[in-house]
A and B are shown apart, each in its own frame.
Chain A
Amino acid sequence: MLLPEKREGRGALRFARVLKMRGLLAIFAATLLPGLATAQVSFDQILSAEKEPRNWLSYSGSPMSQRHSALVQVTPENVKNLEQQWVFQARSLEKFEATPLVVDGILYTVQPPNDVVALDAETGRQFWTYSYIPSPKARPCCGRVNRGLAVVGDTLFMGTIDAHLLAIDARNGHVLWNTAVASPEAGYAITHAPLVVKDEVIVGTAGGEYGIRGFIAAYDIKTGKERWRFYTIPGQGEPGNETWAGDSWKHGGASIWMTGSYDSVLNLTYWGIGNPGPDFTGDQRAGDNLYSDCVVALDADTGKLKWYYQFTPHDEMDYDSVQVPVLADLEWQGKPRKVMLWANRNGFFYVLDRASGQFLQGKPFTTVNWATGFDERGRPMKASSAVPKTEGTVVFPGVQGGTNWYSPSFSPRTGLFYIPSWDNYSAVFAKGDANFVEGREFVGTMPRGAIGGLRPGMVNFRKPEEGFGAVRAYDPKTGEKKWEFKMLDVTDAGILTTASDLLFSGGREGYFYALDARTGELLWKTMLGGAVASGPMTYSVNGRQYIAVCAGNALFVFALKE
């Protein structure tokens, strides 16, 4: 058996050879492909990711988080010729939710829970693996998962399920620094991909089911030292603290478990915030419970709050608002406007002004009964008939939401916003007791419904009236649904669009498919044998476009038949 350091050393040697070869190639190709001249990733490259679509440099493809690629080799006409190129089988039976990064032909991803792997993006052959062993005290609520990495310079960044933030040398997998962000014993974890902004790396803390007090923090990319911290629940004396009864703010959750976005002109970073705790009974936390279920806009240099918008005040349905903030520049009512597009777990599709936080539009994209609409300030008007009660109340959407953490996509070409949706889906919410004990689950009574985290094994148990999944395309300017692609089962898959007007997604059934982004027509599909619970991405190497997605416990990569 090889010792880990030897294995790493052999991998690093081969990796150096490939880099050397690629470096030689890059010298010849530099005039044609300027970005290949160096393996370093500058922040300017990350900001202008659309200029080098061969790479995928951040979780959602760019700080705008549109999960849209300018690559056009694969088209609606030839997508039927996609074929599998390679598969990376994770040595883990955990859910594989990561979106890989690709830098100049090297693919980096996370094998659950916290192993970083560097692969040849053309062949899937491995350069190196770094295995982080999380503390056994780590207790993420919903699986020992990780959704990806960040990169800048030659450094990769990974949050861990025991709430550490690691900087890792992208050339050999060696750890450069390791910062303890929060206490795993108290229920804190990091499951999302970090976000690089200039010379800092930003993460937030998961743990909303354990009575944490969530926060977002920025760390120096060179040293790992904390630059600023924004508590997602205001402390005593701070504005917003009065929205929590008594001491409930001390353990009110408001976690972070998806990657935020960044607008370089406004210098604002946007983050979606999770549910208040305890999840399913709000009696002990009377008030709106800021900034749970909010999007917050923070000054990227200081972490100071610029604005917030709360999607679900005083939430008792676990409607985490952790969705990826999708930034778009649209013509809104005749004028150019910087907006934010947001399909929320609570079932509404929102358009906000991302400079001011002004509510511009909110319309349901799935069956909703907990709110009847919005007042003139954009505050939802709750339906009294759909408030959780002791004896149980049927609420649409159910606890998993009308969507969840699954990445949406915006195509500047079609102007459409694409939402992974659950519809006709409810749960019965019944209030129960919840007593806070640090590090223990703090949720109240779990809702019940036809569809839970996983559907029961026997398909014949299914009843026709139960929920279904769909990819839905909406026009943000009107809130109007343009088309939908309906699935029998629900979906946990993200969505990728390309400048050739293709849309890639999947679902729990294990299919991965391509749709026409303008019409929703099915153009290609393949069965991957495991649920797609990740966001697809695309990249190119040596002029060939690849499409990658995780399904089951493996990463699958496709390209056109040669």
Chain B
Amino acid sequence: MMLGRLSIVLGLASTLLAQHTYTPEDIEEGGRLFRTNCVGCHGPEGNLVDGVDLGHGKFRHATTEEGLIDIVLTGIPGTAMPPNGVTSFQAGAIIAYLRSIATDGRSVVRGDAVRGASIFVNKGACNQCHRVNGDGSRVGPDLSEIGRLRRVTELERSILEPDAEVLPQNRFYRVTTNSGETITGRLLNEDTFSLQMMDSSEHLRSFRRSNLRETSFLEHSPMPSFRDKLSPGEVDDVVAYLVSLKGF
């Protein structure tokens, strides 16, 4: 989805639009829809289209919530903005998400991506858990196109406060077998009788529930904070590197 060339400056971040109240879950869903459908053209900050800055309420072509929703749904004829197959509520949730990020952190890249790449594999040892373009571990989220999906401020927050936001698909899972063995990793699939994981050694594991004593998502991210491990400048460099990762 592309949100196109909208031309109204919306107000501060708010969860109340003209007709609907958007819960934090709705806004989270709006963010997911934005990353899935819109960032290809608009970028994660919403500012890749000339003259448009969705992340800071800079729109064209619409003056009301209904107008913005209509543009998301039907596109803008004669431009690259196509119609999108979402419901009007989902369109509203996307707009609520964009409003929520308008005052949320910086969007300017300050560091050096080349230095950041070096820190990523050396001092930071980020590749012990993360994979980029085929190199590194499969245990953590693959970051090959993270710069296409996530905002500068979100990347910085993930490095300094990894627990602040863990997307549902990135939660870690732990099972304890009847014999007392504990295995952690990423949950890949589950049903009434079994579950499938990639464990922390990157092995694919399948368990029968009858052989498990306990199962749960981990409350905290397994990723440590790098606040005391990297200097502010080094964090900026890693963020710059991550922003440069746009996929194959």
Please report A residues at the B interface, Cβ cutoff 8 Å: 390-392, 430, 432, 445-446, 448, 458-464, 486-489, 507, 509-511, 525
Contacts and interface: CB of A to CB of B under 8 A. Distances in A.
Chain A: interface secondary structure? loop
B70 to A, nearest CB: 13
Given A488-B190, A525-B193, 11 more contacts: A392-B21, A432-B88, A446-B87, A459-B190, A460-B168, A460-B169, A460-B171, A464-B217, A488-B191, A489-B191, A511-B192
A441 to B, nearest CB: 13
A511 B190 CA distance: 13
Contacts of B189: 459
Contacts of A487: 191-192
Interface of B: 19-21, 87-90, 168-169, 171, 186-193, 217
Given A392-B21, A460-B171, A445 B192 contact: no
Which 9 residue pairs spanning A and B have beta carbons closest together?
A509-B191, A487-B192, A460-B169, A488-B192, A461-B168, A391-B21, A459-B189, A460-B187, A488-B191
Given A445-B89, A460-B171, A463-B168, A430 B20 contact: yes
Contacts of B190: 459, 488
25 contacts: A390-B20, A391-B19, A391-B21, A392-B21, A430-B20, A432-B88, A445-B88, A448-B89, A459-B187, A459-B188, A460-B169, A460-B171, A461-B168, A461-B169, A462-B168, A463-B168, A487-B191, A487-B192, A488-B190, A488-B191, A488-B192, A489-B191, A507-B192, A509-B191, A511-B191
Contact of A392 (B20, B88, B187): B20
Which of A460, A461, A462, A487 lies at the interface centre, i.e. has the most chain B CB atoms within 10 A of its CB?
A460
Contacts of B187: 459-460
Contacts of B171: 460
A164 to B, nearest CB: 32
Contacts of B89: 430, 445-446, 448
Nearest to B173: A460
Contacts of B21: 391-392
A239 B26 CA distance: 44
A448 B192 CA distance: 25
A462 B215 CA distance: 14
Nearest to B187: A460
Contact of A390 (B19, B192, B217): B19
Contacts of B169: 458, 460-461
A460 B186 contact: yes
A36 B105 CA distance: 80
Which of A458, A459, A525 lies at the interface centre, i.e. has the most chain B CB atoms within 10 A of its CB?
A459
A507 B193 CA distance: 12
A471 B188 CA distance: 26
A259 B122 CA distance: 68
A489 B192 contact: yes
Contacts of B20: 390-392, 430
Contacts of A463: 168
Contacts of B188: 459-460
A459 B20 CA distance: 29
Contacts of A488: 190-192
Contacts of B191: 487-489, 509-511
Which of B19, B186, B190, B192 lies at the interface centre, i.e. has the most chain A CB atoms within 10 A of its CB?
B192
Nearest to A488: B192
B168 A448 contact: no
A181 B16 CA distance: 48
A385 to B, nearest CB: 15
Nearest to A431: B19
A446 B20 CA distance: 14
Nearest to B191: A509
Nearest to B168: A461
Contacts of A486: 192
B36 to A, nearest CB: 11
A89 to B, nearest CB: 23
Contacts of B87: 445-446, 448
Nearest to B216: A464
Nearest to B16: A391
Contacts of A459: 187-190
